Structure 1
Amino acid sequence: MKINCRNKLRKILITILLIPVVGILIVILNYRMISFVAAGNIYTDSSKLPFHETTLVLGAGSSLEGLWENDSFNHRMEAAAAVYDAGKTKKIIVSGMSNREFYNEPNDMKAALLLAGIPTHVIYPDHGGVRTWNSVERAQNYYKCKSVIIISQADQLERALFIARCINLDAIGLAADPLHYKHRYWSFREYLARVKCTLDYFEYRIRNL
């Protein structure tokens, strides 16, 4: 009887230990899968991009907590201006959040692009880009894009290209400087964001059955 109890206890302990291990493996495999899907569609030189009518710039605030300059924002704006100046696009959608009185990503991005010399009629602020999935899906459904160049940092860009693939939107990406995402916090955040992205995919498939 004691042996049976010990065996049962051992099995319970093994199961308890295995659950987080399996969970971590799933998260890692999911991260790799999204990178694999995006592979081959990311450029680092705007001059080598094929022409696309529309460019989608994913949201970022111009400052961090209203105090420090946001490098990822600056790199995205520089990349977007370079794409337009190289004659690779005619329309730029700046998509992001504007959910607080003094926080408005689309307006910040538009202002930065205007300062960079981009004509105002080229820039389309999208205030519905609450998340990456929303930004990409709205480019297709609201702005009626058939194909886009997507601009962001490397990790988020892979996720955006995965989303585009999921919804059958033809997309390529231009990687802005990835320095900002080398911080451990952002790397951890991206793992979680990719889990949510995969869940969004299943939700999208159910909505479109």
Structure 2
Amino acid sequence: MKYLKKTLLPIALIIAYVLIVNSYITLKTKKSIYDTESKIPKNRVGLILGAGKYTSNGQINLYYKYRLEAAISLYKSGKIEYILVSGDNSKKDYDEPTNFKNDLILKGIPANKIYLDYAGFRTLDSVVRAKEIFGLNSITIISQKFHNERALYLAKHFNIDAIAFNAKDIKGRFGLKTKLREYIARTKASVDILFNVEPKFLGKKTEII
């Protein structure tokens, strides 16, 4: 019985930490998140957090689709002037930023209003690089609510004046699975902050003009 208690105690502490971190991030970012386009303040640049265009079965990834639509809506309503797309381009046949750019242009967004960050391998990388590489101290983050909360948490830690606009979310089994993974992602984000983890790459600065 003593052995069982010693085994269960660390597990219980880990679970408690995960739940506390999740609740803290939600509470800390609550006032910086917007669901309604008409209420969100204007910002010069909107940051789309990357997502793959297609799911494993070849269908359009709805997280991608809804982030794209949210960014287009903010731009066309005058809430942002430029769009920075930050995503993964670590493989030859996988290019999140370019997919977004091509679809943004197809929807009427001028190419000279779109900037790409090919080294947004993680949310931390995307947020920090927006400041360090693209010189942004103020941004509107565009993703689903669960992701926006984590991104805002990171942005605030790195002294970025950020707000976020919630793209449409996904319900059902797939949405639930993603939200469960978010618990782990938030825990990792808190650990990254604790140990001062930096982006995988920085590099040459690019001015958004």
TM-score by length of structure 2 reads 0.89
Q: Which runs of structure 2 are paired with 1:42-191 in the superposition (5 Å)?
A: 42-65=33-56, 67-179=58-170, 183-191=175-183
Long gaps (5+) in structure 2? 199-209
Q: Quick one: distance in 2 between partners of 1:128 and 1:68? A: 25
Is 1:27 the counterpart of 2:13? The answer is: no
Q: Quick one: distance in 2 between partners of 1:14 and 1:160? A: 37
Residue in 2 that maps onto 1:203:
195
Number of residues of Structure 1 aligned to a counterpart in Structure 2: 198
Q: Quick one: distance in 2 between partners of 1:15 and 1:108? A: 50
Residue in 2 that maps onto 1:194:
186
CA RMSD, Structure 1 to Structure 2 (Å): 1.8
Deviation at 1:52, TM superposition (A): 0.8
Deviation at 1:88, TM superposition (A): 1.2
Deviation at 1:40, TM superposition (A): 1.2
SS at 1:148 equivalent: strand
Deviation at 1:188, TM superposition (A): 1.8
SS at 1:124 equivalent: strand
Deviations 1:189-208 (A, max 9, x none): 101101110111112289xx
SS at 2:94 equivalent: coil
Which structure carries more helix by proportion? 1
Q: Supply the AA of the counterpart residue of 2:59.
A: W
SS at 1:48 equivalent: coil
Deviations 1:1-33 (A, max 9, x none): xxxxxxxxx433212122211211111111111
Long gaps (5+) in structure 1? 1-9
Counterpart contact for 1:55–1:150, Cα < 8 Å = yes
* Distance change (3 Å), C-alpha of 1:160 and 1:173: same
Q: Which moved more, 1:134-143 or 1:36-45?
A: 36-45
Deviation at 1:121, TM superposition (A): 0.5
Deviations 1:29-50 (A, max 9, x none): 1111111111111111222221
Q: Which moved more, 1:155-164 or 1:99-108?
A: 99-108
TM-score by length of structure 1 reads 0.89
Q: Quick one: distance in 2 between partners of 1:45 and 1:112? A: 23
Larger Rg: 1
Q: Quick one: distance in 2 between partners of 1:73 and 1:81? A: 12
List, as ranges, runs of 4+ consecutive aligned residues in structure 1 with deviation greater than 3 Å.
none
Residue in 2 that maps onto 1:3:
none
Counterpart contact for 1:47–1:83, Cα < 8 Å = no
